[in-house]
Every structure is written in structure tokens, then in C-alpha cells.
Amino acid sequence: MTSWVGFQHVLEDLTAESAVEPVLRLAERAVADEYRHAEWCRDWAYAFGHPLGEVRPRTERRLTFPGASEADNRLLRIAFCCFTESVGCFVLKEARPRLANAALRRQNRQHLADELRHSRVGWGHLSTLSAAHKSRLEPWVPLLLQLLPKACVEGPEDEHDHLVPFGYFTPSLLARAHHEALEQVILPGLRHLGVEVAA
């Protein structure tokens, strides 16, 4: 549900930044997808014995970066969402070979297809940035990359490797996915778009 809230903020940011129509349509779809994904998590938890309950976001506060202007905060939220969704693709890819349940494997494929579209929201918008907008983004890239493992790897999960076949993401699985996303998509993607990445 937190991703659902976050994508609503990103959609608002894209609208304020006059993003191109195809990107806005992808973002609208991502909002609906994220709500559905939260329901999937609820339903699987129930199927595995957890009491059925309400799924709530951890926070509804808009992500902000201290010292950034309102316009820069919009750009940073879009870029950070692009990075987190890219990592999400690798998390699902990393988990897929271990999934034991046929229905869970089917849902993993659908989820990965959705996450790929979600990452295209950010990459699509970044590809339209002017040189001036790219230069506004560049000084913030090191901070975004520093925050990325905090958002995608560091959490309450433990090394319960025996639960991975049931859809559980261990810290080591998350760390591998983060590393692969960074090396294979995020850093090359930024360079391809002409966004300088500090060493």
C-alpha cells in the first residue's frame, strides 16, 4: 500500500512537470497496479494462515529531500521511483526460480510484467529531460543511490531461506537484486541518458 501511495505522488509530480502523455498513462496504470499488488500480498498472507485484515500504507507522507526545492523534489521522487521499480524487477526475477507454487509463479510473472512497466514510467520521463533538468538531477544522484539500499534491501526481513519458495524475500536475495539492478540497468541507464554519475 505504501507503493500505491507513493505512485500517486509520482503521478502528481509527473503532471506538474508536464510529462508526456504516454508516461502519464503508464503512471495512472501503475497506481491501480500497486493497489492490486497490495491485495495480492494480503490474499497470500491469508492463504498461508495469517488472519485476514486491512492492508495499510506505512506512511502517506510525500518523500522529500532536505535542501531540495519543490521542483527538485518532484524530479527526485520520479527518479527515485524509477530506481526502486528497477530493483523490484530484479527482486522478482531473482525469486522466480525458487518459487514452489504454480499459482505463485504465475503471479510472479504478472507482477514482473507490471514492475517493468512501472520502471518505464521513470525511465520514460528521464529520457525526455532537457540538459538543464539533467544538470539539476546530477548533484542528487549520489544521494539517491545511497538511499536505494535503505529503501530496497534494509528492512525487517531475516535470512529465512526456506521461505523463499513461498514468496519471501531474504536480505541476501534483496541485496543481490539491488546489485544486479544497479550494475545492469540503473548506472548504464543514467549514462545512456547523459546523466553524469559521480565516481
Residue whose C-alpha is closest to residue 78's, from 30, 126, 114: 126
One-letter amino acid identity for 150? K
List the pLDDT tens digit at each of the 199 positions of the chain: 999 999 999 999 999 999 999 999 999 999 999 999 999 999 998 998 998 888 888 889 999 999 999 999 999 999 999 999 999 999 999 999 999 899 999 999 999 999 999 999 999 999 999 999 999 999 999 999 999 999 999 999 999 999 999 999 999 999 999 999 999 999 999 999 999 887 6
Residues 3, 31 contacting (CB under 8 angstroms): no
What the block records as the C-alpha cell of 53 is 485484515
CA 21 to chain CA centroid, nearest Å: 21
Residues 29, 5 contacting (CB under 8 angstroms): no
Backbone angle region of 109, left / alpha / beta, with phi > 0 → left and psi within -120 to 50 → alpha: alpha
Q: Which CATH architecture has domain 2-192?
A: Up-down Bundle (1.20)
pTM assigned to the model: 0.94
